[in-house]
């Protein structure tokens, strides 16, 4: 496929097709799901094609098996348009007993009344996000997350990207269509995406129309709370006092559920390790969106604005790092959490692999805060019961750019523009 930028999800998709009869790819719109799937598909059914949509939807209701005819793996794009196809795919996988038959792209939460079985054991679910800095070519990849877990003692590398350059990458976002574009053009793409969230995307979940004005107020409130634990009550108060758009608890639940369903809202769960003391761990999720460029848009923050607002820049940069760490961790069999306890001790990111290995990460906007972040990580490590959890594979402070090195206390300092999976 001409101009295709390799994705870390490519390998996961290939492996999943060797292990399962079907694969469901979810993720935010415009993130490249269909493009990635099309590279490996032998035939394609596009349910949103206006020339064939009505005919295909009628077939899905009357005889869905007809739409499955085609070379395998067969891509069913935007499968949620005809949710009856889920059970048809599951049944065909059962009857044929083969692997790599179907790839489905689209929403997770389709019309549940038309789906009779979860597909567990037959349909593998994977998530694609917007592009990480390594995938977009904006990180040189000189430091590998995988190698950090293999207990390398020292890191080396450097990035000459300026802080203004990192701000520009942040507000551009990781949508494939934005990569390589001038900043003004990239901002038009982000604007189109964000306005689509308000006016059409949240209604695709269940056909319900949601008030775009209230949704805009909610997105602004979420954006102000990015990279922080935010309660529903604080969001409601924010919308009342700052946005002037009061919202009820039930409506807020409905709106946030719709944002999760279209993979825009992507909170980070708390990590609950075994501690040496009985310190209470905060279990609230930390607020994140699928890409921090969305928050920058709803806060009306350009790259220059961020340079003049270190607090907002710091919170959005933390969310950028979390986005990339999630993508990298997923590719090596892991996930990312946050830690915060009642004493105020915290880690911006905890990377936990399926094999039990773990690492602690702090995110800092500049070198002057590195020492504070490193000391914080060491305090947290000493609080964790390493007799049962084992020692962390590594501890790192992630900064925007500059030189990568390992401190005398063993904490790595790593520019995000040097990192890869």
Q: What is the DSSP string of 254-296?
A: HHHHHHHHTT-B--BPBP---BSS-PPBP-PPBP-BS-HHHHH
What's the pTM? 0.94
The residue count of the chain comes to 421
Predicted pLDDT of residue 112? 46
Portions of the chain given CATH number 3.40.50.300? 9-127
Predicted pLDDT of residue 118? 52
Rounded to an integer, what distance in angstroms lies between the CA atom of residue 379 and that of residue 159? 29
Rounded to an integer, what distance in angstroms lies between the CA atom of residue 405 and that of residue 9? 29
Residue in 330, 303, 262, 285 with CA at minimum distance from that of residue 106: 262
Region for residue 25 given its phi and psi (left: phi exceeds 0; alpha: psi -120 to 50; beta: otherwise) = beta
Rounded to an integer, what distance in angstroms lies between the CA atom of residue 169 and that of residue 174? 8
Quick one: how many helices (H) and strands (E) in the chain? 15, 14
Rounded to an integer, what distance in angstroms lies between the CA atom of residue 142 and that of residue 132? 15
Contact 284, 393 (CB under 8 A): no
- Angle of helix 9-19 relative to helix 310-331, nearest 10 degrees? 30
The token pair at 37 is 């799937």
Rounded to an integer, what distance in angstroms lies between the CA atom of residue 284 and that of residue 113? 32
Predicted pLDDT of residue 156? 93
Burial 268-278, CB ≥16 within 10 A → b, else e: bebbebebeee
Predicted pLDDT of residue 113? 45
Rounded to an integer, what distance in angstroms lies between the CA atom of residue 83 and that of residue 144? 40
Contact 290, 323 (CB under 8 A): yes
Structure letter (DSSP) for residue 241: I
Which CATH code of 3.40.800.20, 2.70.150.10, 2.60.410.10, 3.40.50.300 fits the domain covering 9-127? 3.40.50.300
Count other Cβ atoms within 10 Å, centred on residue 337.
19
3-state secondary structure of 49: coil
Residue in 394, 411, 414 with CA at minimum distance from that of residue 403: 414
Predicted pLDDT of residue 208? 86
Predicted pLDDT of residue 1? 47
Predicted pLDDT of residue 288? 97
* Long-range CB contact pairs, 53-59, < 8 A, 24+: 53/81, 56/82, 57/81, 57/82
Per-residue pLDDT for the chain (421 aa), expressed as one digit of tens each? Answer: 458 999 999 999 999 999 999 999 999 999 999 999 999 999 999 999 999 999 999 999 999 999 999 999 999 999 999 999 999 999 999 999 999 999 999 886 554 444 545 556 789 999 999 999 999 999 999 999 999 999 778 999 999 999 999 999 999 999 999 999 988 899 999 999 999 999 888 888 788 889 999 999 999 999 999 999 999 999 999 999 988 889 999 999 999 999 999 999 999 999 987 776 666 677 789 999 999 999 999 999 999 999 999 999 999 999 999 999 999 999 999 999 999 988 889 999 999 999 999 999 999 999 999 999 999 999 999 998 888 889 999 999 999 999 999 999 999 999 999 999 9
Residue in 291, 210, 316 with CA at minimum distance from that of residue 253: 210
Contact 402, 126 (CB under 8 A): no
């Amino acid at each position: 496929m001409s101009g295709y930028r390799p994705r870390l999800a490519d390998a996961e998709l290939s492996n999943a097709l060797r292990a399962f009869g079907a694969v469901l790819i979810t993720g935010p719109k415009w993130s490249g799901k269909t493009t990635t799937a099309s590279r490996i598909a032998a035939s394609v059914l596009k349910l949103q094609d206006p020339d064939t949509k009505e005919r295909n939807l009628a077939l899905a209701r009357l005889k869905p098996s007809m739409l499955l005819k085609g070379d395998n793996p067969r891509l069913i794009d935007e499968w949620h348009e005809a949710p009856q196809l889920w059970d048809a795919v599951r049944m065909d996988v059962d009857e044929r007993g083969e692997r790599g038959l179907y790839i489905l792209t689209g929403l997770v939460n389709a019309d549940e009344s038309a789906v009779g079985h979860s597909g567990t054991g037959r349909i593998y679910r994977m998530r694609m996000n917007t592009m990480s800095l390594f995938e977009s070519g904006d990180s040189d990849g000189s430091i590998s997350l995988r190698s950090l877990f293999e207990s390398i003692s020292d890191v080396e590398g450097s990035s000459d990207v300026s802080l203004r350059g990192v701000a520009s990458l942040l507000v551009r976002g990781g949508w494939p269509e934005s990569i390589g574009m001038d900043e003004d053009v990239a901002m038009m793409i982000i604007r189109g995406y964000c306005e689509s969230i308000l006016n059409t995307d949240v209604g695709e979940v269940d056909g319900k129309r949601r008030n775009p004005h209230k949704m805009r107020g909610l997105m602004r409130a979420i954006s102000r709370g990015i990279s922080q634990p935010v309660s529903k009550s604080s969001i409601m108060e924010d919308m009342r006092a700052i946005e002037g758009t009061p919202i009820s608890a039930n409506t807020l639940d409905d709106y946030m559920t719709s944002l999760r369903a279209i993979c825009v809202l992507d909170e980070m769960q708390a990590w609950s390790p075994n501690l040496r003391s009985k310190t209470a761990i905060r279990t609230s999720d930390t607020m994140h969106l699928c890409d921090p460029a969305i928050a920058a848009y709803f806060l009306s923050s350009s790259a220059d604005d961020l340079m003049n607002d270190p607090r907002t820049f710091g919170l959005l940069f933390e969310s950028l790092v979390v986005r990339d760490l999630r993508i990298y961790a997923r590719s090596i069999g892991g996930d990312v959490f946050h830690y915060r306890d009642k004493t105020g001790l915290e880690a911006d990111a905890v990377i936990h692999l399926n094999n039990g290995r773990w690492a602690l990460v702090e995110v800092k906007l500049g070198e002057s805060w590195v020492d504070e972040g490193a000391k914080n990580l060491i305090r947290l490590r000493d609080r964790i019961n390493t007799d049962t959890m084992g020692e962390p594979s590594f501890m790192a402070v992630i900064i925007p750019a500059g030189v990568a090195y390992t401190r005398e206390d063993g904490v790595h300092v790593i520019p995000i523009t040097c990192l890869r999976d």
